[in-house]
Amino acid sequence: MSYSAIIVAAGRGLRAGGDLPKQYQELAGKPLIRYSVEAFAEDRNCAQIIVVITPDDEAVMTGALGPFAKLCTLVEGGAVRSASVKAGVMAADKDYVLIHDAARPFIDQSLFTRLTTALENFDGVAPTLPVVDALSRMDEGYQPISREGLFRVQTPQAFRTHALKAAFAKAGDGLNFPDEMSLAEAQGLSLTTVEGEENAFKITHPSDFTRALQILGYKPEDKGRTFVVGQGYDVHRLTQGQGVTLCGVWIECPYHLVGHSDADAGLHALTDAILGTCARGDIGQHFPPTDERWKGADSAAFLIHAVELARLAGVRLTHADITLICERPKIGPHRAAMQARVAQLTGLSLDHINIKATTTEKLGFTGRQEGLAAQAIVSGIKS
């Protein structure tokens, strides 16, 4: 079911330091707010993105959003969080609403899915994580506090839109809740929680920017260096057979990919993307299909060569995103193995490799199962 995303970006974030409110400060060359917007924009179930801003911030927010500004509706917030969220919720027109802090850049579609699935049976849901550190009050000496039943609450917090609108209306004006779950609880909505994500932390202090850069694979010595991006695309014809190789993993199925090498479209697209980061042409220039040496070759050799060329060009790879476009075979059961194989070949950590699959709703050559396509985007830092 489609949902509206509300990104709360009306605060000033003074504890984070800097000359600008933290939502506008750059994280690895990109305004912090844009990470959340891009995450929602990539989710096919997100049908509306509302960004709640401080009055008079429209110009600076539009600049920070860049090309994503046209996907967003800007709404002026209030003096406190509850007033800002209410303004955003009243502008939402989808069945579900996901409310998110602009200062939490690392969210993904798996979390969105957990939240919206929970809304099938509840009015509201929030992602939570257990408290792992010892707790104590210190106002009258060291007073330990039990962690039992305590959780860290994150965003996005998700609600049935009509239920949350009714809760705001019932609560009246002048409300000031720490989060939307608190409001919903006070108004008697049915609530639950789902597992949160450690990386979905909130940037609050200057040191949190350092932590975020580490997650992105950015190192202090990278300051002043160039961020590079490469993309790749590959297609291979499908025929009847006994299996295919995709992203370095053999999948037993009644198909065969036709190509000069092993026709691994996933690794071919990834190879081209890596060659793009270092401006070294394409896979056909390095491994021409007219050369018999590469007949039936393992595409891992092509990828390893591209990774080495990138290294020699001074490019340190930081992230790889691969999309496999096909009706068959099913990719989900093999996703983890593919990630592990790509990590082994590229040297990237598993949390910097994303592999996903989509169909074309039975349209075109992939929809007719005549072929399979793959595309890849790779980012890196060039010294």
pLDDT at 219: 67
CA distance 87 to 40: 19
Query: Which pTM value belongs to this model?
Result: 0.62
Q: What residue has token string 């092993």?
A: 262
139 shares its domain with 9: yes
Same domain, 281 and 143: no
CATH code (residue 312): 3.30.1330.50
> In terms of Cα–Cα distance, which of 22, 20, 10 is closest to 79?
10
In this structure, the answer to whether residues 145 and 236 fall within a common structural domain is: no
b/e code 320-346 from CB counts within 10 Å (16+ = b): bbbbbbbbebebeebbeebbebbbebb
Q: Cα–Cα distance between 187 and 168 in angstroms, integer? A: 9
Task: Indicate whether 94 and 186 sit together in one domain.
Answer: yes
Cα 38 to Cα 323: distance, rounded to the nearest angstrom: 17
pLDDT tens for the chain, 383 residues long, are 799 999 999 976 666 566 688 899 988 888 999 999 999 999 999 999 999 999 889 999 999 999 999 999 999 999 899 999 999 999 999 999 999 999 999 998 899 999 999 999 999 999 999 998 888 888 878 888 888 889 999 999 999 999 999 999 998 887 889 899 999 999 999 999 999 999 999 999 999 988 998 888 776 666 667 889 999 999 999 999 999 999 999 999 999 999 989 999 999 999 999 999 999 999 999 998 888 888 888 999 999 999 999 999 999 999 999 999 999 899 999 999 999 999 999 999 998 999 999 999 999 998 898 999 999 999 999 87
Task: Give the pLDDT score at 176.
Answer: 87
Same domain, 176 and 294: no
Q: Any idea what the Cα angle at residue 60 is, between residues 58 and 62, rounded to 5°?
A: 65
Same structural domain, 40 and 110: yes
Considering the domain architecture, whether residues 147 and 277 belong to the same structural domain is answered as: no
DSSP for 327-365, please give it: SSS--GGGHHHHHHHHHHHH---GGGEEEEEE--TT-HH
The structure tokens listed for 306 are 């591209």
Same domain, 121 and 28: yes
Q: How many CA atoms lie within 13 A of 272 on its CB side?
A: 18
Of 215, 243, 258, the residue that ends a domain is 215
Contact 232, 213 (CB under 8 A): no
CATH number for the domain that contains residue 164: 3.90.550.10
**Token pair of 131, please?**
């408290």
Structure tokens at 279: 């401006």
Interatomic CA distance for residues 190 and 381, integer angstroms:
47
In the listed set 215, 240, 259, which residue is the last one of a domain according to the structure?
A: 215
| pLDDT confidence of residue 18 | 63
Domain count, the chain: 2
34 and 138 assigned to the same domain = yes
Query: Rounded to a whole number, what is the distance in angstroms from the first to the last CA of the chain?
Result: 45
Q: Which pLDDT value is given to residue 289?
A: 84
Last residue of a domain, one of 184, 215, 246: 215
Concatenated DSSP letters for 61-109?
HHHHHGGGGGGEEEEE--SSHHHHHHHHHHT--SSEEEEEETT-----H
Q: Which of 365, 345, 360, 355 is nearest to 266 (CA)?
A: 355
Statement to judge: residues 232 and 258 lie in one domain: yes
Specify whether 259 is located in the same domain as 200.
no
Domain range enclosing 154: 3-215
- 164 and 299 inside one domain: no
